[in-house]
Amino acid sequence: MTRGVWLSTVRLVMCCVWWGWRSRWRLSGSGRLKVGAVRQSLGVVLACALLLALVTSSSTYASTGFGIERYSLSATNEDGSMDTQAGSHPYELTAEADLDANMQVGSEVKNLTFELPPGLIIDGAAVTHCGYPEFSERHCPPNTAIGVLTAKLGGSTESAAVYNLPGGVEAASQLGFSLSDLVVVAEVAADPGDGYGMRVSIRDFPNAGLESVKLTLDGAPRSAFLTLPTSCGGSQSTTLQGESWGAETASVSISFPQMAGCELLSFEPVIDVVQELLEAGAPSGYWLEATIPQDEQPLGLATAQIQQVLVTFPAGVSLAPSGMEGVVGCSEAEFGLTSTGLPTCPSASQIGTFKLHTPLLDGLGEALRGLIYAAEAGTNAPGGPIALYLGVEPEGAGEGGLLVKFAGQLTQNSATGRLTLSLNDVPQLLLSNIELRFFGGRRALLANPPTCGTFTVNSELAPWSEGPHVMSSSSFQITEGITGGPCPITPSSPPPSSAATTSGPGPTSTTPVAATTNAGSVTLDGSTITVHGGGLALVKLACTGGGTCDGKLSLTDKVPLGKGKRLKAKPETIGTAGFSIPPGKTATIDLALNKAGRTSLGAAHGHISATLTILRSSQAPSQTLTENVGLVRPKVHGLTRANSCESCPGSVGFGYL
């Protein structure tokens, strides 16, 4: 008997007792029973008995009584002990549920959704897939099995292997299993309404009287298929949502154990910032790329996931005075930050694009692409914050079940005037790369510094593990005046910029070039220099000796001049950068190529030979050492001008080669 029927029965019995007391047998003054009272009492008793029979006999159709009696979720080690190490790849992940279906009409389970804590990852790309034809014919290879499902159906218990299936538009990956004659597929996706925790959904489960279910997924040591959260900031929750074929719903939420050992997780991101135009004071597009190296060893610990990105632009970078022309704000309701619907922001609110690289796409695409929107007016006061929304593009929304939407902000320091871009609570989706591109032209958000020189961007990146923040810096150059004319102000001597966080003793150089300073000797590591977005050459240096190594790098190439018979090659400086490296450390120096260098690199299809000169510092003995090096540009990171906003007349954005 269901709870609702039980309450109705109790009420009916109490009613009968009360009426029975009111019409109880009464004695006359002479001690004889009153015939009318007897007849009235018997009528009440018979009426109550009839109503009680009707209620109990129709209870099957009056209420289905669907519910969830018990739910548990646990991650365990090989010995069966609880796994609470942050970022570990557990041996097993087990979800169990007992359902209160009672085998009544309409109470059978239709949908079950296991909502996992944010940061708990199921990565179908880490395991070999079973194709749909093989799965439908029940011929999946053994190496595609990723767990076991045990279910109680109609009083009998059955077990089946769970196979890893390819993902689709609505799922990053899928789990497939067969019970008797039933073939069931569960979808694995992410939920923006719950901090981007992953969810496993079984939809339209066959009407077979499911009473209980136990799903066990296998993790390490085979692969990094399962990863525990990299946050140790407290216990989290997990929820089981259920729906019956009679449209009744039920849910149970429980706590998930708090993670520990976050201090063991690595977190070594770097960030590069490149401007589109080299002209001083010009409204320009800007490109930002944060790279988070991932540790995917099944017996190791995952990299701490990135939570916050802070990018502080150099003094002189300002809000474009005539930028964002024709831009209208997107309202909070139109964007729907925590909803599962697509953004409906007007196209006129688009001011840039973004890409997120994650293995969870499971081969569905290179990255998750989206648009950057200007938020509705009201938060865009002069000198105040400019709110930004980042959401997937409508035509690519939900790719792999990853509907990503989050917010950013651009603020200005009242004392220094420097602008800071911040992204907070970045989704925990194993992101290895974050790319932001802000349009140039009429919709430009930013303007270049008003003078020529080398400018340094300072960045701060924080992990979800609450570990130390990582500081990073990169530099870019302004080498031209407006419309390509001479610089409005020629800087006397650009300050040196150390472009990357230093770490560890310097490696042995394969083609050493050393310049002795007053306190140490600097060595070039390797003869090949990689060039990234927009012409950013990464020069690896090592400092040996007893003190700091400081000085200046200069890169020279023979740039072709003229046409036809007048074609000549003239040596020209294509980039400079300063450096300052602590003793016994290595550093990667960002050397931004100027227009001539970028043109030469493009004409040579991404590979040129150049001369790197390491100059003495102002305090060191006079010394200049040179070495021939090769510049190589990987196509995946190469940038060129392209129309990235077709609806923005006069705007120039960034595009991949």
Paired sense of beta strands 514-516 and 521-524, if any:
antiparallel
What does the block give as tokens for 174? 């899928």
Mean pLDDT of 352-361: 86
DSSP annotation string for 159-225: EEEEEEE--BTTBSEEEEEEETTEEEEEEEEEEGGGTTEEEEEE-S--SS-EEEEEEEEE-TTS-S-
d(CA 348, CA 406): 19
Residue 493 burial class via C-beta count within 10 angstroms: exposed 0-12, middle 13-18, buried 19 and up: exposed
> Of 585, 314, 582, which Cα lies nearest the Cα of 453?
314
User: 207-216, 259-268, 353-362 — which is least confidently predicted?
Assistant: 353-362
More confident residue, 579 or 270: 270
Same fold, 68-262 and 496-638: yes
What CATH class is the domain 496-638?
A: mainly beta
Mean pLDDT of 615-642: 49
More confident residue, 579 or 500: 579
**Distance set, CA 169 to CA 172, 189, 193, 203, 428 (Å):** 8, 10, 19, 16, 20
Residue 546 burial class via C-beta count within 10 angstroms: exposed 0-12, middle 13-18, buried 19 and up: exposed
**Going by C-beta distance under 8 Å and a sequence separation of 6 or more, which residues neighbour residue 21?**
none
HSE value, Cβ hemisphere, 13 Å, CA-based, for 462: 13
Residue 409 burial class via C-beta count within 10 angstroms: exposed 0-12, middle 13-18, buried 19 and up: middle
Residue whose pair of structure tokens reads 């400086």 in the numeric block: 573
What does the block give as tokens for 243? 């729906």
- The answer on pLDDT for 462 being more than 70 is yes
Q: Is 65 left (phi over 0), alpha (psi -120 to 50) or beta?
A: left
d(CA 582, CA 585): 6
Amino acid at 364: L
pLDDT of residue 449: 94
Mean pLDDT of 65-91: 93
- pTM of structure: 0.66
d(CA 627, CA 378): 55
Torsion, Cα 220 226 230 231, to 10 degrees, reads -120
Q: Which residues pair with 213 in a beta bridge?
A: 97, 151
More confident residue, 132 or 9: 132
**Residue 559 pLDDT grade (very low, low, confident, very high; cuts 50, 70, 90):** low
**Distance set, CA 632 to CA 313, 323, 539, 596, 612 (Å):** 27, 35, 12, 16, 14
Share of the chain above pLDDT 70, in %: 67
Q: How confident is the prediction for the chain on average, in pLDDT?
A: 75
d(CA 113, CA 198): 10
What does the block give as tokens for 546? 């007893």
Q: Are 112 and 240 in contact (CB under 8 A)?
A: yes
Domain boundaries, the chain: 3-62, 68-262, 267-494, 496-638
- The answer on pLDDT for 504 being more than 60 is no
**Residue 39 carries which DSSP code?**
H
- The answer on pLDDT for 6 being more than 60 is no
**Residue 556 pLDDT grade (very low, low, confident, very high; cuts 50, 70, 90):** confident
DSSP alpha helices (H): ranges in 457-614? 595-603
Architecture of domain 68-262: Sandwich (2.60)
DSSP annotation string for 331-355: PHHHH-TTSSSPP---GGGEEEEEE
d(CA 611, CA 539): 12
Residue 468 burial class via C-beta count within 10 angstroms: exposed 0-12, middle 13-18, buried 19 and up: exposed
What does the block give as tokens for 231? 């946050």
